Amino acid sequence: MSVKTALITGGTKGIGKAIALAFLERGYEVVLNYCHDERSALATQEEFNMLGYCPVLLRADVSDEAQVRAMFKEFFSIYEKLDVLVNNAGVSLIKVIQETKIADWNRVFDINVKGTYLCSREVTDKMIFAGGGAIVNIASIWGEVGASCEVAYSASKGAVIAFTKALAKELAPSNVRVNCVSPGVIDTEMNAELSGAEMEELISSIPVGRIGTPADVAEACLFLAESSYVTGEVLSVGGLFGK
């Protein structure tokens, strides 16, 4: 039986790093995509090496079509097939709409939406030819319910959810499943700019009484990657936050 493969975009930090570790521990061959921070990427690779794993690093800006194509060309020069694509790379933006510039809006949509589209488009034929596969997109609870002062981010993640549902219907006959994980408040660098008081207020609004961890999201990704009869779903990982 051949070893399964997974590629995680934005896979060297935060949620992406936790997802990568979960797949490595499950026995997958894992490729970690990163964009700018080579030092952090190499440190993550070394950390995984010390745990006995050998992930491959591939650099690409997921919003750049040529770079995405080059990344997957290199991937398929190493591996015959891709079993799981996790579209995790993303950026946030906290600004009121009046202060959200066109450049801000475009950057959020380029990475969060266009990146998901480009990477998914690049692997679908390969997965269909191989007889199946799984795409897991990382959205956000704000894509479901919206967040004040995060209109661009909420809209981009709502688009990821709609993209997931549509692509799942398109690819289901080919045994390629497309699902979405929708994290709530997760303990990552993306939320580091929140003050202690803001974080306490958030925690008080979460019924389970704590913020989530990257490992919580990683477990959901594994479930969706390996559940052969689940597609087109949005799995919220937020302790009922925002519900």
Q: Is 153 a catalytic site residue?
A: yes
Phi, psi of 76 (to 5 degrees): -80, -5
Residue among 34, 117, 153, 229 flagged as catalytic: 153
Q: Catalytic amino acids?
A: 153
